[in-house]
Structure 1
Amino acid sequence: MGLSKSCVRPLTPTPLRFLSTYTSKTPNEFTNLCSKGRLKEAFESFTSEIWSDPSLFSHLLQRCIHTQSLSLLKHLHSLIITSGSSSEKFVSNHLLNAYAKIGELSTAVTLFDVMPRKNIMSCNILIGGFIQNGDLESARQVFDEMPERNVATWNAMVAGMTQFEFNEEGLSLVSQMHGLGFMLDEFTLGSVLRGCAGLKDLNAGMQVHGYVVKSGFEFNLVVGSSLAHMYMKSGSLGEGERVIKAMPIRNVVACNTLIAGRAQNGFSEGALDQYNMMKMAGFRPDKITFVSVISSCSELATLGQGQQIHVEAIKTGASTVVGVISSLISMYSRCGCLDESVKAFLEREEADVVLWSSMIAAYGFHGKGEEAIELFNQMDQVGLDANDITFLSLLYACSHCGFKDKGLQFFNLMIEKYGLEPQLEHYTCVVDLLGQSGCLEEAEGFIRTVPVKKDAIIWKTLLSACKIHKNTEIAKRVAEEVLRLDPQDSAPYVLLSNIQASAKRWQDVSEVRKVMRDRRVKKEPGISWFEVKNQVHQFCMGDKSHPQSMEIDMYLKELTWEMKLRGYVPDTGSVLHDMDAEEKEHNLAHHSEKLAIAFALMNTPEGVPIRVMKNLRVCSDCHVAIKYISEIENREIIVRDASRFHHFKDGKCSCADYW
Structure 2
Amino acid sequence: MSVTHLLRIQKNQQNIIIQLIVHFQYARTNFSSNVLTLQQGAVNNNIETSNSICEKVQILCRQGLLKEALDVLHVTDQKHLRLSTCTYTSLLQECLNKKSWADAKRVHAHISQTRFGTDLNLGNKLVVLYAQLGSVQDARHVLDKMQVKNVASWTSLIQAYSKHGNDGEALSMFCEMQGNGIQPDHFTFASVLPVCANLKAIEEGKQMHGHIIRRGFQSEVFVGSALVDMYAKCGCIEIARQVFDKMPQRNVVSWTAMVSGYTQIGDMGKAMEFFQKMPEKNVYSWSVMVTGYAHAGCIEDALELFQKMPNRNVVSWNAIIAGYAQSGKFDEALKLFREMQLRNVRANLVTFASVLPACANLAALCKGMEIHGSVVRSRLPFDVFVWNTLIDMYAKCGSIKHAWQLFDKMTMRNVVSWTAMIVGYAMHGFGKEALQIFQEMQHSGTKPNKITFVGVLCACCHAGLVDDGWKYFKCMTQDYNLIPSIEHYCCIVDLLGRAGHLVEAQDFINNMPIEPNAAIWGSLLGACRTHSNIELGEHVAKHLFELDPENDAHYVQLSNIYAEAAKWDGVASVRRLMKDRRVKKTPGCSSIEINNKVHAFVT
Is this a same-fold pair by TM over 0.5? yes
State yes or no: 1:251 paired with 2:316.
Answer: no
Q: Which amino acid aligns with 2:459?
A: A
Further displaced range: 122-131 or 246-255? 122-131
Is the Cα–Cα contact under 8 Å of residues 123 and 143 in structure 2 kept in the other structure?
Answer: no
Aligned to 1:400: 462
1:441-499 CA-partner distances (Å, limit 9, x unpaired) = 44344445545565433332222222222233333343333333433221111111111
Aligned to 2:277: 214
Structure-2 change in CA distance of 1:529 and 1:77 (3 Å): closer
Cα deviation, residue 325, structure 1:
2.0
Is the Cα–Cα contact under 8 Å of residues 330 and 362 in structure 1 kept in the other structure?
Answer: yes
Quick one: distance in 1 between partners of 2:348 and 2:334? 15
Q: Which amino acid aligns with 2:208?
A: F
Cα deviation, residue 265, structure 1:
1.5
Q: 1:65 aligns with which of 117, 125, 128?
A: 128
Q: 2:549 aligns with which of 487, 496, 514?
A: 487
Q: Provide the secondary structure at the position in 1 that maps to 2:593.
A: strand
State yes or no: 1:96 paired with 2:154.
Answer: yes
Structure-2 change in CA distance of 1:369 and 1:190 (3 Å): farther
Which runs of structure 2 are paired with 1:185-204 in the superposition (5 Å)? 187=253, 201-202=265-266, 204=267
1:576-633 CA-partner distances (Å, limit 9, x unpaired) = xxxxxxxxxxxxxxxxxxxxxxxxxxxxxxxxxxxxxxxxxxxxxxxxxxxxxxxxxx
State yes or no: 1:274 paired with 2:336.
Answer: yes
Quick one: distance in 1 between partners of 2:457 and 2:181? 52
Which runs of structure 2 are paired with 1:398-547 in the superposition (5 Å)? 398-452=460-514, 455-536=517-598
Which runs of structure 2 are paired with 1:72-87 in the superposition (5 Å)? none
Cα deviation, residue 241, structure 1:
2.0
Is the Cα–Cα contact under 8 Å of residues 96 and 112 in structure 1 kept in the other structure?
Answer: no
Which runs of structure 2 are paired with 1:67-466 in the superposition (5 Å)? 67-68=130-131, 70=139, 92-103=150-161, 109-113=175-179, 115=181, 119-127=185-193, 136=201, 139-140=204-205, 142-143=207-208, 145-146=210-211, 148=213, 150=218, 152-153=222-223, 156=226, 170-172=234-236, 174-180=237-243, 181-182=245-246, 187=253, 201-202=265-266, 204-216=267-279, 219-318=281-380, 320-452=382-514, 455-466=517-528
Higher RCO, 1 vs 2 (CA within 8 Å, ≥6 residues apart): 1
Cα deviation, residue 535, structure 1:
4.5
Q: Which amino acid aligns with 2:395?
A: S
1:264-300 CA-partner distances (Å, limit 9, x unpaired) = 1211111110110000111011112112222211111
Quick one: distance in 2 between partners of 1:110 and 1:538? 57
Is the Cα–Cα contact under 8 Å of residues 502 and 527 in structure 2 kept in the other structure?
Answer: yes
Structure-2 change in CA distance of 1:283 and 1:21 (3 Å): same
Is the Cα–Cα contact under 8 Å of residues 493 and 509 in structure 2 kept in the other structure?
Answer: yes
Cα deviation, residue 259, structure 1:
1.2
State yes or no: 1:43 paired with 2:101.
Answer: no
1:159-178 CA-partner distances (Å, limit 9, x unpaired) = 5688xxxx6xx112x32131
Q: Provide the secondary structure at the position in 2 that maps to 1:531.
A: strand
Cα deviation, residue 60, structure 1:
7.8
Further displaced range: 518-527 or 366-375? 518-527
Structure-2 change in CA distance of 1:155 and 1:171 (3 Å): farther
Cα RMSD after superposing both structures: 4.1
Is the Cα–Cα contact under 8 Å of residues 525 and 537 in structure 2 kept in the other structure?
Answer: yes
Structure-2 change in CA distance of 1:511 and 1:280 (3 Å): same
Is the Cα–Cα contact under 8 Å of residues 459 and 482 in structure 1 kept in the other structure?
Answer: yes
Is the Cα–Cα contact under 8 Å of residues 320 and 348 in structure 1 kept in the other structure?
Answer: no
Cα deviation, residue 72, structure 1:
9.7
Is the Cα–Cα contact under 8 Å of residues 337 and 355 in structure 2 kept in the other structure?
Answer: yes
Structure-2 change in CA distance of 1:399 and 1:182 (3 Å): farther
Q: Provide the secondary structure at the position in 2 that maps to 1:488.
A: coil
Structure-2 change in CA distance of 1:428 and 1:239 (3 Å): farther
More helix per residue: 2
Cα deviation, residue 98, structure 1:
2.1
Cα deviation, residue 129, structure 1:
6.6
Is the Cα–Cα contact under 8 Å of residues 322 and 350 in structure 1 kept in the other structure?
Answer: yes
Q: Provide the secondary structure at the position in 1 that maps to 2:344.
A: coil
TM-score w.r.t. length of structure 2: 0.69
Structure-2 change in CA distance of 1:161 and 1:378 (3 Å): farther
Q: Which amino acid aligns with 2:272?
A: H
Quick one: distance in 2 between partners of 1:360 and 1:258? 31
Quick one: distance in 1 between partners of 2:547 and 2:225? 40
Is the Cα–Cα contact under 8 Å of residues 96 and 108 in structure 1 kept in the other structure?
Answer: yes
Cα deviation, residue 255, structure 1:
0.8
Q: Provide the secondary structure at the position in 2 that maps to 1:146.
A: helix
Cα deviation, residue 362, structure 1:
0.8
Identity of matched residues, %: 29
Q: Which amino acid aligns with 2:369?
A: Q
TM-score w.r.t. length of structure 1: 0.64
Quick one: distance in 1 between partners of 2:393 and 2:443? 27
Cα deviation, residue 352, structure 1:
1.3
Quick one: distance in 1 between partners of 2:465 and 2:160? 46
Cα deviation, residue 371, structure 1:
0.6
Structure-2 change in CA distance of 1:377 and 1:498 (3 Å): same
Structure-2 change in CA distance of 1:75 and 1:303 (3 Å): closer
Quick one: distance in 1 between partners of 2:443 and 2:330? 38
Structure-2 change in CA distance of 1:500 and 1:424 (3 Å): same
5+ residue gaps in structure 1? 1-17, 47-55, 87-91, 542-659
Q: Structure 1: which 4+ aligned runs deviate by more than 4 Å?
A: 20-23, 35-42, 56-60, 69-78, 102-111, 113-132, 134-139, 151-162, 183-198, 448-455, 535-541
Cα deviation, residue 319, structure 1:
8.7
Quick one: distance in 1 between partners of 2:140 and 2:501? 62
Is the Cα–Cα contact under 8 Å of residues 101 and 129 in structure 1 kept in the other structure?
Answer: no
1:340-369 CA-partner distances (Å, limit 9, x unpaired) = 111111122221111111111110011111
Is the Cα–Cα contact under 8 Å of residues 518 and 544 in structure 2 kept in the other structure?
Answer: yes
Is the Cα–Cα contact under 8 Å of residues 286 and 309 in structure 2 kept in the other structure?
Answer: yes
Is the Cα–Cα contact under 8 Å of residues 366 and 596 in structure 2 kept in the other structure?
Answer: yes
Is the Cα–Cα contact under 8 Å of residues 394 and 403 in structure 2 kept in the other structure?
Answer: yes
Q: Which amino acid aligns with 1:347?
A: K
